Structure 1
Amino acid sequence: MAPLTDSQVTVLPEAEWQARRDAHARRVRQWTGPHQERRLRREKHPVLDFLFTYYSHRPAHLERWHPGHGVVLAGASAREYLRWKEYTAVPEGVTPLPLSPQRRFTAGFVRDLLAATASRPPRLGCFGLHEWAMVYRAGEVRHEAWPLRLGSAGTDAVVEASTIKCSHFDAYRFFTEPARPLNTLAPSREGQVAMEQPGCLHATMDLFKWAYKLAPHTPSELVADCFELAVDVRALDMRASPYDLSALGYEPVRIETERGRADYVRAQVAFTERAAPLRTSLVALCEALLADHPDDPS
């Protein structure tokens, strides 16, 4: 491969990229370490397991540091990255390979989805009722080890007295059959780009998914930022759920009350603000990746 020009890449000296690699591993092990310990004990966590089971990025992959698009790792030890098929050697060192056609399609979809989401005002009136709709009139619940705060009948009554406005397909698809007709929206996979909006907690958590799906072209610091936000959002998601998780230190946000709904909206606004620059960074990354292939139809 021909040498890369200075305008195309940033070359990181060995000491610099190794320091960033080690800092990233220390940062994410505060989450991956306890998760792996729970797995060894065969212990389930109704809040945090979601980040490693619903999302397909394994803990070992989250711990792995990548420099990101347009970066070359200099120094002899950079050759350790060649064990992964996404990297190639260049005269300046080691760098991620260009995107395949399939992954260019993914980058185009992510760009379109996140740019469309960012273009809309946040809608803040859902109050996390998607979790309630997932247990509405259900014979069994997903987190069977944890009680419903209001019991089954009380949970059903909250759903029936509420207006459900879930815009996120991957939350809506877990609604019980009796709950689906109660949703005032009709999210679908095909309509995802047209419907997602920045106030949605699940759309915010999904920034983590879009970040890791573009790895190793996503700088791992950005992946970790998205993951950390997803951890915090997931906590609110389950605190506002019908489950009683106070024994784990998650005090409920009682969205069946006026005060609880106000608390939920305040947290939702804060998460929307935290998510905005991360969404912008991911859109910019997608555009940079696609600009490397200007003749590609995506």
Structure 2
Amino acid sequence: MNVLAAQEWAGRMAEHAARADALTAAHRARRARRERHAIEDFLFDYYGTRPAALRRWHPGPGVALAPGGDGPAPHAGWKYYATDTDGVVRLDLERYRAERGTTVGFIAGLLGATASRPAHLGCFGLHEWAMVYGADEHRHPLPLRLGRAGTDAVVEAHQIRCSHFDAFRFFTPQARGFNRLRPTRESQVELEQPGCLHAAMDCFKWATKLGPGAPGGLTLDCFALAGEIRLLDMRASPYDLSSYGQAPVRIETPEGKAEYMARQRELTGRAAVLRSRLLEACAALV
């Protein structure tokens, strides 16, 4: 057990909170003005992210916090932490395993299976196009940059291979037949692959599911990467993002496809590192 002195853990807490505040500043300002953002709100709405929870620093398994002049670390009052007789605060692994062990096992199994497979690139973010195919109403109040007919034509000209259930389930009924796969919740572990940018974004979901079992820095790293992926997801989508000052990645053209694949490859590599760190956390927890 690595026991951090009070000065060290207090500094880490402050640095973590400052980084979390910087990552969520724009969202919090918009929320105060009751403004919506079609790109960035996804991380907060879909993943149920709360800025206050993000700024809480967790040391992770194997790290304990020595008491300071004011007594034990504030973690002493947080769920899944225990305080020893000498005032040292640590993750209560016995309780955590009893209540979260099944969740940790599922996450480790899914991430391990995903990491074991080769990355399939070249999906070109067509899931977003399939979500609006043949529909009069869309999830976002934004115009389609190619119009409805042009958007539908792009879907019809491609064979889609979406392996991610939580993307596929939002396909319009008319678009489902264009997908070569039929992902389900039950086949998630069998189908997820590391080149899928939604699977990469979900590294943040799994970090939050681990809660105090994931080191705080890892959770923020996953959140930051998810934000970058979300931006690419929307730039490559059929929506016109000019109102947000974002240029499209025109995946309907050879040049746009090349741009998308290059960015996808880079983000996939970074997600692989985070996935490995999450697996290390899972191993320490169980």
Which TM-score bucket, shorter chain as reference?
A: over 0.9
Give me the whole-angstrom Cα distance separating, in 1, the residues matched to 2:167 and 2:248. Answer: 20
3-state SS in 2 of match to 1:72: strand
Give me the whole-angstrom Cα distance separating, in 2, the residues matched to 1:275 and 1:261. Answer: 21
Q: How many correspondences in the alignment?
A: 281
Q: Which of 105, 109, 115 is the aligned partner of 2:106?
A: 109
Q: How far off its partner does 1:18 sit?
A: 0.9
3-state SS in 1 of match to 2:137: coil
Give me the whole-angstrom Cα distance separating, in 1, the residues matched to 2:114 and 2:246. Answer: 29
- Cα deviation code 1:27-74 (max 9, x no counterpart): 121221211111111111111101111002311100111111121111
Matched, 1:263 2:259: yes
- Cα deviation code 1:177-232 (max 9, x no counterpart): 11112111111111111100011010000001111111211110010111111111
Give me the whole-angstrom Cα distance separating, in 2, the residues matched to 1:200 and 1:102. Answer: 30
**Runs of 5+ in structure 1 lacking a partner?**
1-8, 291-298
3-state SS in 2 of match to 1:215: helix
Q: 1:12 corresponds to which letter in structure 2?
A: L
3-state SS in 1 of match to 2:201: helix
Matched, 1:148 2:144: yes
3-state SS in 1 of match to 2:140: coil
Q: How far off its partner does 1:92 sit?
A: 5.1
> What is the correspondence of 1:11-22 to structure 2 with a 5 Å cutoff?
11-22=3-14
Give me the whole-angstrom Cα distance separating, in 2, the residues matched to 1:237 and 1:143. Answer: 13
Instruction: Report what 2:120 is aligned to.
Output: 123
Instruction: Report what 1:205 is aligned to.
Output: 201
Relative to structure 1, the CA distance from residue 225 to residue 168 in structure 2 (aligned partners, 3 Å threshold; closer, same or farther) is same
Instruction: Report what 1:96 is aligned to.
Output: 91
Contact 1:208 1:223 in 2 (8 A): yes
Contact 1:123 1:197 in 2 (8 A): yes
Q: TM-score, normalised by structure 2?
A: 0.95
Relative to structure 1, the CA distance from residue 50 to residue 288 in structure 2 (aligned partners, 3 Å threshold; closer, same or farther) is same
Matched, 1:236 2:232: yes
Give me the whole-angstrom Cα distance separating, in 1, the residues matched to 2:77 and 2:149. Answer: 55
Q: 1:247 corresponds to which letter in structure 2?
A: S
Give me the whole-angstrom Cα distance separating, in 1, the residues matched to 2:182 and 2:261. Answer: 22
**RMSD, aligned α-carbons:** 1.2
Matched, 1:85 2:79: yes
Q: TM-score, normalised by structure 1?
A: 0.92
3-state SS in 2 of match to 1:269: helix
Q: Which of 17, 38, 46 is the aligned partner of 1:25?
A: 17
**Runs of 5+ in structure 2 lacking a partner?**
none
Q: Which of 241, 253, 260 is the aligned partner of 1:245?
A: 241
State which drifts further: 92-101 or 106-115: 92-101
Contact 1:74 1:94 in 2 (8 A): yes
- Cα deviation code 1:207-261 (max 9, x no counterpart): 0111111121111001011111111111100000000112312210000101101
Contact 1:211 1:223 in 2 (8 A): yes
4+ long deviations beyond 6 Å: none
Q: How far off its partner does 1:120 sit?
A: 0.7
Give me the whole-angstrom Cα distance separating, in 1, the residues matched to 2:50 and 2:199. Answer: 20
Give me the whole-angstrom Cα distance separating, in 1, the residues matched to 2:79 and 2:98. Answer: 16
